[in-house]
Amino acid sequence: MARRRQIFEGKGKVLFEGPEPGTLVQYFKDDASAFNRRKSGIITGKGVINNRISEFLMTKLNDIGVPTHFVRRLNMREQLVREVEIIPIQVVVRNVIAGSLADRFGMTEGTPLPRSIVEYFHKSDELNNPMITEEHITAFGWASPQDLDEIMSLALRINDFMCGLFLGIGIRLVDFKLEFGRLWEEDQVRIILADEISPDSCRLWDMETNEKLDKDRFRHDLGRVEDAYQEVARRLGILPESGPGDLKGPDVMQ
């Protein structure tokens, strides 16, 4: 890790300067935090699993034409990504009532929504990621109405695709958070998917038992946190039956 210049350290990842201009190396840590860092801990092996899960999902999204920052996985904990200017918005897509939506409206967690809801939050830990509307986003110059159309359409396509993918492995995609960035190519700017998609940023429930297979196990001390992350990877076919100790080979197992 010392060989590269560190650009940024976040809660779950570190960004390093990449091997060529316009690239970054994204390193996945085992550190976990919740409630805006008021709770923190370690989920052993999480970084390795999230690196794989995010690689898997971003590759599939790339395949269906969703532009992402993912280039390739470098090793157990690192992936090469394209450097983008992060748009300071967290885009949350919800299919089932849970988390802050349930709290805000006093609604029962687990109720399916008649249609998917997209919410925006300003990406700012200092301000505790306040919820925002399109009005704030355009008035404060974070994104134009055209950018927002593009973000909304990408978010819904990603949701449709991921709902189907998880349904196929017996998992309900309750909600998830996305981040987008701007990529300059010659004199054109494109909006592409950035950050990660993993059980840190998604709520994933077993279809039959409603067991939580995501970071809520850590947030609410539900136990078997490591098992939940491994179970998602195992069902996606990217973790051998015998566990993460076997994740040594260079080939993605699919």
Q: Which amino acid is at 169?
A: I
CB nearer to ligand UDP: give 155 or 247: 155
CB nearer to ligand UDP: give 9 or 246: 9
Q: Could you tell me the smallest distance in angstroms from the CB atom of residue 32 to ligand UDP?
A: 11
Residue whose tokens read 């805000």 = 104
Choose among 187, 179, 137, 134: nearest CA to 155.
179
Q: Could you tell me the smallest distance in angstroms from the CB atom of residue 69 to ligand UDP?
A: 17
Question: Which stretches of the chain bind ligand UDP, using CB under 6 A?
Answer: 90, 92, 98-101, 129, 175-177, 201-203, 215
Closest residue to ligand UDP using C-beta atoms:
99
**Distance (Å, whole) CA 96 – CA 128:** 23
CB nearer to ligand UDP: give 89 or 247: 89
Asked whether 212 and 204 are in contact (CB, 8 A), the reply is yes
Q: Could you tell me the smallest distance in angstroms from the CB atom of residue 13 to ligand UDP?
A: 12
H helices of the chain, where? 46-63, 99-105, 134-139, 145-167, 216-219, 225-236
Q: Could you tell me the smallest distance in angstroms from the CB atom of residue 221 to ligand UDP?
A: 15
For 188, phi and psi rounded to 5 degrees? Answer: -110, 145
CB nearer to ligand UDP: give 18 or 195: 195
